Amino acid sequence: VVIGNSKESIQSTVEELMKIGKYIGLTINSGKTKYMMVKRGGGDHNNFQVGNNIFEQVQEFKYLGSTLNNQKNIHREINITLDAANRCFYVLRTLFKSKLLSRKTKEHLYLSYIRSILTYVCATWVTTKGDDEKLRIFERKILKKLYGSVFNNVEQKWEIRTNTQLYQL
């Protein structure tokens, strides 16, 4: 990944990268190398040439399993990640319901499997309040399954834990 503020700075960085790569015997495959420009108003769709290599401009690309686009719209990616974490939860749901596993073990399962899926590429996200709320709703759903309901001795019935109770655990 090469990042620059202008085509000229990117061009000089790519030229330097090609020079160093050539010195150690590496070349850039221009057929597989693409570039994306992120700016207000979209911009023109041009190919980018450095030396004899022509690089194609794309509107989105996949990086570390995350799809980045030039609209700076991350909502779709967050929904894809939430779906993946939800699928993982449903695979593990029998373990979360099991009376044989301790709460500590279930917490460990949550942190090592489900939360790791959610947070894998979150460093690249610029979230809105709505995105943050979606993530909190998902986490509360998992925590309610993990910690279960609580028995109310006064009313003699089982009650679902409140959000405040969940975060205190």
With H, G, I as helix, E, B as strand and everything else as coil, classify residue 123: helix
Per-residue pLDDT reduced to its tens digit, 101-147: 998 999 899 999 999 988 887 777 778 899 899 998 998 888 888 87
Per-residue pLDDT reduced to its tens digit, 89-107: 999 999 988 889 998 999 8
Please, are residues 169 and 147 in contact by the beta-carbon 8 Å criterion? yes
pLDDT band at 84 (very low <50, low <70, confident <90, very high): very high
Give me the torsion for CA of 133, 134, 136, 140, rounded to 10°. 130
Per-residue pLDDT reduced to its tens digit, 25-79: 988 888 888 888 777 665 666 778 888 888 888 888 777 777 777 776 778 888 8
Mean pLDDT of the region 1-20: 82
pLDDT of residue 126: 78
pLDDT of residue 50: 83
Instruction: State whether the Cα torsion 46-49-55-60 is positive or negative.
Output: negative
> Over the chain, what is the mean pLDDT?
82
Angle at 166 between CA 157 and CA 96, to 5 degrees: 80
With H, G, I as helix, E, B as strand and everything else as coil, classify residue 150: strand
pLDDT of residue 169: 67
Q: What is the helix (H) or strand (E) element at residue 84, kind and residue range?
A: helix 75-97
pLDDT of residue 29: 86
Q: Of 105, 38, 99, 34, nearest to 74 (Cα)?
A: 38
Higher pLDDT, 72 or 16: 16
**Sole residue written with tokens 């495959």:** 29
